[in-house]
Amino acid sequence: MTGDWGGERTALLDKGIDIQMEYLGESASNLRGGYDKRHTTRYADQFTLGAEFDLQKLLGWQDATFALELNNTNGKSLNDERINDPRVEGLSATQEVSGNGSVTRLSKLWLSKGWFDDALNLKAGRFAVGDDFAVEDCEFQNLAFCDSQPGNFVDSFTQSPVSTWGARVKYSVTDQVYAQVGVFAVNDSYADNHNGFKLNGAGTSGAMIPVELVWAPAFGQLPGEYRAGYYYSTAKADDLYKDADNRPAAVTGNDYRRDDSQHGWWLTAKQQLTTVGGDASRGLVLYANISAFDAATTQVDSLQKLALVYKGPFDARPDDTLGLGVARLHASSRYLHNARAANQASGLSYDDADFVPEQHTEYDIELNYGIQATEWLSIRPNLQYIAHPGGVREVRNAVVAGVQIQSTF
């Protein structure tokens, strides 16, 4: 939006300095359904300011890059205020950028260095696990279709804008295949709003270790990307159901036991299916994800999603997109057993204030149209349908209208 700054921006790029400024805003209005049927609109946004430094251009250090990024989030969540039963934590969000509150954070402070023509690459510093592992495009506003899915549900698998100290080693077997492994600090305090710039390791409780194999084939003019990954966390985590004696903690009143580890896996696919007259910048793209998370310690134990995005649906609008996605989020059976045990012990029913709602499965559907208004501004109106919000069957299915605005400066 701000142009070339009188040629200064190009001059900086030529020197190896890439200034990056972005804005993402998301509004959502409940048209019908949800726990609270009163109509309202909620807005959340995110400002990003950062830079990447090509150290080969700046210092002659081959295949080396340094990155610094700050992230500011604001606004409120429609899910928290209208869609979900307030007695339980929701499973997804109709505004993927919401949920962090009003806070400014250090999102990136890392250095990467490559060897053997960057076939071997080491990245170390401050960044999110989801920046490099289980990465997916974000062509939707609903959280179930955006970013690294383990990072959306597994606390120890950090997701931007929350960052942690870590390192990632990547080895490219061929131009189309690479494998990577990482080690990241598990530190819940980094997610606290008053710790947006915390740099010390106080509060670190273990290590998150993800591994991933990535295949990026090109079937003629049809590119794809396939990821298979696994994570293991050495940090202790609260069990969702049992106490130290393996009895239901909701019944005994004892503290929930601390499990010794967490683990899970993911399979993702992105494949372009068609082109328009041989132009690969237009055509139909398929996205798919099957993920499983630790059922003993994670509220959502599995996710499946399928999405289609058509790039350039009209000759007159070659940069617009049309998207449709369907996702299934299944609450952990341990979470369900815990709620049932608590309610059986109390004898309460759903309409009682202290009843613990039972969470099963939520289904999310989003239809959107992305308008590339200018080179620097896109506007994506969308319509979402949430079946069993939060997995609570007593909550009315919800219809939500949203608008997502993305701008680069």
Work out the burial of residue 66: count CB atoms within 10 Å of its CB; fewer than 13 is exposed, 13-18 middle, 19 or more buried.
Answer: buried
pTM: 0.94
Q: What is the pLDDT of residue 147?
A: 87
- 57-83 pLDDT, tens digit per residue, is 999 999 999 999 999 999 999 999 999
Q: What is the pLDDT of residue 101?
A: 80
Q: What is the pLDDT of residue 399?
A: 98
- Among 99-103, 153-157, 158-162, 202-206, which stretch is predicted with the lowest mean pLDDT? 99-103
Residue 26 reports pLDDT greater than 80? yes
**Sequential DSSP letters for 74-134:** EE--HIIIIIS-TTS--S--SSTT-SS-SEEEEEEEEEEEEETTTTEEEEEEEE-GGGTSS
DSSP state of 254: P
Residue 220 reports pLDDT greater than 90? no
Strands 103-115 and 218-219: unpaired
As a whole number, mean pLDDT of residues 115-126 equals 97
- Name the helix (H) or strand (E) containing 248: none
Q: What is the pLDDT of residue 246?
A: 93
Question: Cis omega (within 30 of 0) on the bond before 318?
Answer: no
- C-alpha angle with apex 21: 20 to 22, nearest 5 degrees? 125
**Mapping DSSP to helix (H, G, I), strand (E, B) and coil, where does residue 318 land?**
coil
Q: What is the mean pLDDT of the chain?
A: 96
Question: Domains of the chain by range and CATH?
Answer: 5-408 (2.40.160.180)
- 265-308 pLDDT, tens digit per residue, is 999 999 999 999 999 999 999 999 999 999 999 999 999 999 99
- 308-349 pLDDT, tens digit per residue, is 999 999 999 999 999 999 999 999 999 999 999 999 999 999
Residue 91 reports pLDDT greater than 90? yes
**Mapping DSSP to helix (H, G, I), strand (E, B) and coil, where does residue 252 land?**
helix
As a whole number, mean pLDDT of residues 13-38 equals 97
Residue 108 pLDDT grade (very low, low, confident, very high; cuts 50, 70, 90): very high
Q: What is the pLDDT of residue 100?
A: 77
**C-alpha to C-alpha distance for 368 and 387, rounded to whole angstroms:** 18
